[in-house]
Amino acid sequence: MKHFLAFFFLFATLSAEDPAPQPTETQPLFDSSQYEKKLWKEVEKQQERVAELTAALSRRDAIYPAATVAEYKNAVQMLD
């Protein structure tokens, strides 16, 4: 009998509590704007890196013209 009364009072107190508040406005489960900002930052970094590498290649071509590089490769192949 004690168990029944304990269960009854427990059930009565649980059912008397207010239900969890429901959100008034549905929010997306995943906020894509933050992810998109992060991706754009990564794209900008990659674009800067490409610009740096392109500048380095143009400096190398100014110092070592393509013909000189090709001649060097041919000379190395003839030695092998």
- pLDDT, one tens digit per residue, over 28-52 is 677 788 889 999 999 999 999 999 9
Q: What is the mean pLDDT of residues 54-63?
A: 77
Q: Would you say residue 11 lies in a domain?
A: no
Rounded CA-CA distance 80/71 in Å is 15
Q: Would you say residue 14 lies in a domain?
A: no
Q: Would you say residue 72 lies in a domain?
A: yes
Q: Would you say residue 16 lies in a domain?
A: no
pLDDT, residue 10, reads: 64
Reported pTM: 0.41
Judged by DSSP in three states, 22 sits in coil
- Expressed as residue numbers, the domain containing 67 is 32-80
Q: Is the dihedral angle over the CA atoms 25, 30, 31, 32 positive or is it negative?
A: negative
Rounded CA-CA distance 72/78 in Å is 10
Q: Would you say residue 1 lies in a domain?
A: no
CA angle 59, 57, 74 (to 5 degrees): 100
For the chain, the domain total comes to: 1
Residue with tokens 């004690």: 2
The residue ranking higher by pLDDT, 19 or 31, is 31
Q: Would you say residue 23 lies in a domain?
A: no
